Amino acid sequence: MLFLTSSVTCVAKKLISHLSKPPAEIRLTFIPTASEVKKGDLLWLKKERQSLVDAGFQVTDFTVTGKTKAEVTAMLENTDIVFVSGGNSFYLLQEMRKSGFANVIHQYVDNGLIYGGSSAGSIVAGPDLTLLAALDATVEAPELTDFKGLGLVDVVVFPHWGSDHFREKYTQRMMDAYKRGQKIILLTDDQYLLVDNGTYSIQSI
């Protein structure tokens, strides 16, 4: 199952309704890697993490930066949910590849691991990040040779839809998507994309 959001702060408690066990019995690993190249107090990141704690999950932190494939695999073996936070999508993708996360996440999701994402964490789950290259600082990911995503879903998530900051930029990207034949999903901050057994549904609070 995948639980892809614009901002998990707004919808964290909705995840509970899609689980077979109480959140207190579920191990959730929070991956803040995408935020590592962001400036400021990162209050939004703290709120994302706290929203999952407040929802009742057992939250452990883990960054894929600097990790080996063995370390990533050990983490995935010992968690029920991986939740990937927001930040720079391209830096996140770069570090996912370097650590081996990008190579092994498919098999774990296929075997029942839940993948959750917020903003950048949702974007990298898609097939390709090229559409969003003009919106994020690709300079933060100098080792990327292409923008192919994880491919956990076949749509490109455009987060924070409805925000004045993104409206004009996204309009051009939607035109590009149409020309490329790529599928996109626009998510407001109070919506999430649930993918369960191959079925896609957009839900909201």
Q: What is the pLDDT of residue 160?
A: 81
Banded pLDDT at 87 (limits 50, 70, 90):
very high
Banded pLDDT at 131 (limits 50, 70, 90):
confident
Digit-coded pLDDT (tens) for 106-129: 999 999 999 999 999 999 999 999
pLDDT averaged over every residue in the chain: 92
How long a stretch of residues is the chain?
205
For the chain, domains (ranges, CATH) are 2-204 (3.40.50.880)
Helix (H, G, I), strand (E, B) or coil at 183: coil
Helix axes 101-110, 69-77, angle to 10 degrees: 20
Q: Which residues of 21-55 are buried (b: 16+ CB within 10 A; e: fewer)?
A: eebeebebbbbbbbbebbeeebebbeebbebbeeb
Rounded CA gap, 118 and 160, in Å? Answer: 10
Residue 168 clears pLDDT 70, i.e. is over it: no
Q: Which residues of 112-148 are buried (b: 16+ CB within 10 A; e: fewer)?
A: ebbbbbbbbbbbbbbbbbbbbeebbebebbeebeebe
Residue 162 clears pLDDT 80, i.e. is over it: no
Span 50-78, average pLDDT: 97
Half-sphere exposure of 102 (CA within 13 A, CB side): 22
pTM, to two decimals: 0.93
